[in-house]
Structure 1
Amino acid sequence: MLLFSIITAAVAPGIALLTYFYLKDRYEAEPIHMVVRVFLVGVLIVLPILVIQRGLELWLGSGPVVFSFAVSAGVEELMKWFVIYHIIYKHKEFDEPYDGIVYAVAISLGFATVENVLYAVYQPMTVGSLLIRAMLPVSGHALFGVTMGYYLGKAKFASAATAKRRFLVLAALLPLLEHGLYDYIMGSGSTYWALFIVPLMIYLWIRGVRRINRANAGSPFRLIGHEEEIKL
């Protein structure tokens, strides 16, 4: 019973955040079965990510910069980008810019939820530590997903091929840099880590909300809805 309670507490933040970002789709919500499927893909990629990370750590070492930006953030964000690009980017359901955010957040939270469960099960966790993990790493993964999805959406609907390529690169590079900076701060061992991580999280949330609004504003269904209002 205790184990069930711990797992439930570890899973809840990911589900809550996914629900929040799903409901932010103002004009045409994605099929729930597609979002759940991508979330489960995020769960499944945990194992290959761990294997690759272990191999890179043995090869490159575990220095703070290398580990934060290459082993941790590099592998995780590039794997998520690779999977989303190949299974969602060209899918017929990806029909408005915000869809990139929904699916990138879904795969990110699938990964983050498993990570959170593993921490909760194998390390002594208090209510306070679970709350901190919900506010920091779990929401961090979601916000890295917002960045990735925002630029995937821009790439999908850009008219010029050069713009598409540029946005696809940004969709991989920017969340990697955000994630790497987050990991570097958290792994620095500094007593004053909170003085750095709190402003970073505030910045990511502000930027994330702005990107959500911009993605929604670019929806073709927004114009359709506006036309229907005029007709009425």
Structure 2
Amino acid sequence: MVAIEPLVLLVLALGPGVFWLWYFYHRDKYEPEPAALIVKVYLLGVLVTFPVAFVEGFVGLLIASPLIMGVIIAPIVEEYGKFTVVYRFVYRDAEFDEPMDGIVYAAAAALGLASLENVLYVLTAYVTSPTLAFETLAIRAIFSVPAHALFSSVWGYALGRAKFTAAERRPGIIFRGLALAMMLHGTFNLLLFLSDIVAYATVIFVLVLIPGLWILANRNIRIALRWQRRR
């Protein structure tokens, strides 16, 4: 394959994150959020990648198992990092005024992290060969990049529900949403890990987990949009 300029590859690697950000932004069809705030949360998602990577790297010095790191530590640290962006910087904002907003802002933060992660994976693959870089780009654009938004949409929906629920119920709703997102993220990573070892892991990944994530996200979006229409 003909060599490609790194700058062009960088733009291509950012493309999936931007596309999925556009997709989730436009799912909020009744009262879209301010574009500037969406971009802010997306960029904060990019920035939170650095402390997330630091924590994962530090824990990795203590835990030698790639399986534990990928299936337990990474999902916990990454989902909590993305959650912190939304909870700290936008949850109390006046623009966060309906459950659907939680899904949109969660997706924005998640796709910020996923975009930088995607750039690193694609550029690393490019060092080996341009062909591998494009294969990595294609696979991650379909699976890994949107998956980050799908995981985080779970706790995003929980945040949206919690904000308009009695105060004493909020911590439980948020905790369950965050825990479920971490579990789904861990399951995703586990199936990827097992796909090189167990043949049916790939089948479960493609035919069960990925459709299930989309079904759950669309279900939450439908409920959130119905809430908007009843206002």
Instruction: Identify whether the pair has TM-score above 0.5, normalized to the shorter chain.
Output: yes
Normalising by structure 2, report the TM-score. 0.90
Secondary structure of the residue aligned to 2:65 is coil
Give the match for residue 51 of structure 2.
Answer: 48
Report the AA paired with residue 6 of structure 1: L
C-alpha distance in structure 2 between counterparts of 1:30 and 1:185, whole Å: 35
Q: Deviations over 1:47-90 (max 9, x none)?
A: 111110011111233251x2134321010001111221111111
Cα deviation for residue 128 of structure 1 reads 3.2
Secondary structure of the residue aligned to 1:45 is helix
Give the match for residue 217 of structure 2.
Answer: 208
1:103-122 → structure 2 map (5 Å cutoff) = 103-122=105-124
Q: Deviations over 1:109-161 (max 9, x none)?
A: 00000000011111133433311111111011010121121111111111x22
Percent identical across equivalent pairs? 35
| Contact 1:68–1:181 under 8 Å retained in 2 | no
Runs of 5+ consecutive residues of structure 2 not aligned to the other structure: 127-131
Give the match for residue 36 of structure 2.
Answer: 33
Q: Is 1:139 aligned with 2:139? A: no
Runs of 5+ consecutive residues of structure 1 not aligned to the other structure: 225-232
Give the match for residue 97 of structure 1.
Answer: 99
Q: Is 1:155 aligned with 2:162? A: yes
C-alpha distance in structure 1 between counterparts of 2:10 and 2:66, whole Å: 32
- Provide the alpha-carbon RMSD of the alignment: 1.5
Report the AA paired with residue 18 of structure 1: L
Report the AA paired with residue 157 of structure 1: F
Give the match for residue 192 of structure 2.
Answer: 186
How many aligned positions are there? 220
Normalising by structure 1, report the TM-score. 0.90
| Contact 1:39–1:110 under 8 Å retained in 2 | yes
